[in-house]
Structure 1
Amino acid sequence: MYTIGIDIGGTKIKFGMFDEQNKIVKVEVIKTPKEAVLETMIETISAMGNEGEIQGIGIATAGIIDIEKGVITSAANIPAFVNLPLKTSLEMEFHVPVMIANDANSAALAEGNEGVAKKVSNFISLTIGTGIGGGIIQDNKLVHGTSGFGGEAGHMVIVHNGRTCGCGRKGCWETYASGRALERMIQENPALASKKMQPKDLFLNYNSNDACKEIIDTFVDYLSVGILNLQYTMDPEMIVVGGGVIDSSDHWWHLLQEKITATSTIPINIRQAQLKNDASMIGAGYLTKK
């Protein structure tokens, strides 16, 4: 018997087939469809396993999700999926339970079951990429919250009346400590913008360019503020940091640790995520497991 874990992204969708020990036995990657979405999803899942072999389907996706209905209610990067009855349609087709969760929540499940937080029952997982996503695991269970917004740490306000976020609020954490924030800071510096620098270039030039150093130091300051807010609020056993920005962690992780050590008055265990690009797909494979 197998479980299917699906990670829906703006450009591609990853389908993983997992055995009863949740080991990956097959992976399919397709271009994210802009039409005939349900047909494409059903066709790809059907091609992965014979009828009767699949015992559950988990879907990790960006956007805002109605957990109970299993519907993506808002997602700028995958508009063709918005308001589609994914859960009910796939359950009717395959006659197995289907669960849909935010991709950052799924990444938290993955890290808790197979990653750096394995055997840790209470932790917070952060996914830092274009924005900041989060997942909360409490007593080994994913915290969805009353309306399904549990773990949306990126929209925690850290600057009163600060920069406008994509969500419409002002001062959200992800407007100051994400990949998009780094891109903005580059554009606001004419010298760096003229060189067409990318966020990764900031880290590479940290020791040789004062402007790059200033941006990275600012980024680390804001990142530490949000992390410490979460630690003081939830007091988890561990805070796991992953996402695309972690790929350059060799250049800034020590700065973050130094900042947190200097400004925290309580113990904090901060670790780098292990599962990287497969985290959401792996976590999706656990969504229907009891």
Structure 2
Amino acid sequence: MKKILGIDIGGTKIRLGVVKENGEVLADKKIPTKLPLYPYLEEQVLKVMTEFPDLSGIGIGTRGMVDAKTGVVTFETELEGWQGTPVKAQLEAATGLRVEINNDANCAALAEAKIGAAANFQKVVCLTIGTKLGGGFVFDGQVMNGTHGGAGEVGHLILYPNGLVCGCGRPGCSEQYVSGTALSRLIQEENVIDPETGQLAIPQNLFRLATNGHTSAIVVRERFLSDFAVVISTLQAVLDMDCVVVGGGVSDSADDWWENLLAKVESLKLSPLELKRATFGNEAGMLGAAMLIIDRVN
């Protein structure tokens, strides 16, 4: 069974995993992200290849926007020097292996669509609620990249015209209302005080407080989930997917809000739609990166 090196590149750490075709992880290594990124990445990959000389290919998921065809990082502002890097061409030349690269959210979506929560569905949207709001579309087993590698930028759907200014410079983007950052802002706006600490609640505890009947926490929960349901409904009107997978850090508290979200989506959806909680956590990006290659080396 073929072995693939899956790599997930984040702002602070890089995860490298040797993955078999069935998704079994043979090795898993985490290293800090260092700049300049490309020579450091190549060095680490070559080290893995000395331990696993029978690798069949390398799949990479990275933050930022990627031209999946050329393998060039087209937009990334926080990893200095990474934007414009022809990762695919350089790493293929260095290793002699096939290399595929895509956005990290797309990779997470691919993992869920291939071997995770949406393995039995054909048209899958994966939404990741972390510090920001990410998305990935996998239709018929293939990542939808868009012309410039920007498909799946769900966090930049305009949810409230003339609303809060986003980091992208436009007003009203959905990640200003549906994200961990948004949850922190809503907690401040509604002055949600945790009775156990006497301090402002932290996002991790917000939904538990709401479940326990905390009035202002309930207000935040309703605002947050109502906006999230609108995002899902809007995506359905455009994509007509059959499954939405929800993951990311905020989903760790889903036991306290999942049924509320289902009820809100039910009242807005245009046709049958399954909502699933993500199977994979932090390993989704690495697994999905490997999936970029697996179908192409058989």
> What runs of 5+ residues in structure 2 fail to find an aligned partner?
none
1:135-168, Cα deviation, whole Å (9 max, x unpaired): 1111221111122111111111121221111111
1:35-94, Cα deviation, whole Å (9 max, x unpaired): 3x3332222222223375222111111112233332323334422533333222211110
Q: Distance in 2 between matches of 1:162 and 1:221?
A: 16
Query: Is the Cα–Cα contact under 8 Å of residues 9 and 61 in structure 1 kept in the other structure?
Result: yes
1:260 corresponds to: 265
CA drift at 1:223: 0.3
1:200 corresponds to: 204
Asked if residue 251 in structure 1 is aligned to residue 251 in structure 2, the reply is no
Query: Is the Cα–Cα contact under 8 Å of residues 192 and 200 in structure 2 kept in the other structure?
Result: no
Query: Is the Cα–Cα contact under 8 Å of residues 3 and 18 in structure 2 kept in the other structure?
Result: yes
Q: Distance in 1 between matches of 2:23 and 2:269?
A: 38
- Look up the SS of the partner of 2:282 in the other structure: helix
Asked if residue 136 in structure 1 is aligned to residue 109 in structure 2, the reply is no
- Look up the SS of the partner of 1:285 in the other structure: helix
Asked if residue 118 in structure 1 is aligned to residue 119 in structure 2, the reply is yes
1:285 corresponds to which of 281, 286, 290: 290
1:147 corresponds to: 148
Query: Is the Cα–Cα contact under 8 Å of residues 224 and 259 in structure 1 kept in the other structure?
Result: yes
- Look up the SS of the partner of 1:83 in the other structure: coil
1:221 corresponds to: 226
Query: Is the Cα–Cα contact under 8 Å of residues 26 and 48 in structure 1 kept in the other structure?
Result: no
Give the stretch that moved more between structures: 40-49 or 193-202. Answer: 193-202
Asked if residue 276 in structure 1 is aligned to residue 281 in structure 2, the reply is yes
Asked if residue 97 in structure 1 is aligned to residue 98 in structure 2, the reply is yes
Query: Is the Cα–Cα contact under 8 Å of residues 134 and 152 in structure 1 kept in the other structure?
Result: yes
2:3 corresponds to: 2
Q: Distance in 1 between matches of 2:91 and 2:137?
A: 27
2:241 corresponds to: 236
> What runs of 5+ residues in structure 1 fail to find an aligned partner?
none
Please list every run of at least 4 consecutive aligned residues from structure 1 whose deviation after the TM superposition is greater than 6 angstroms. none
1:178 corresponds to: 179
Q: Distance in 1 between matches of 2:267 and 2:120?
A: 28
Q: Output the aligned Cα RMSD.
A: 2.0
CA drift at 1:34: 2.7
CA drift at 1:258: 1.3
Q: 1:129 to 1:27 in 2, by over 3 A?
A: same
1:2-51, Cα deviation, whole Å (9 max, x unpaired): 2110001111110001124342100111011133x333222222222337
Q: 1:219 to 1:59 in 2, by over 3 A?
A: same
Asked if residue 64 in structure 1 is aligned to residue 65 in structure 2, the reply is yes
Q: Distance in 1 between matches of 2:191 and 2:141?
A: 48
Counting aligned pairs with the same residue, the percent is 37
Using the size of structure 2 for normalisation, the TM-score is 0.90
In the alignment of these two chains, the number of paired residues is 289
Query: Is the Cα–Cα contact under 8 Å of residues 236 and 269 in structure 2 kept in the other structure?
Result: no
Q: Distance in 2 between matches of 1:3 and 1:157?
A: 38
Q: Distance in 1 between matches of 2:128 and 2:259?
A: 18
2:164 corresponds to: 163
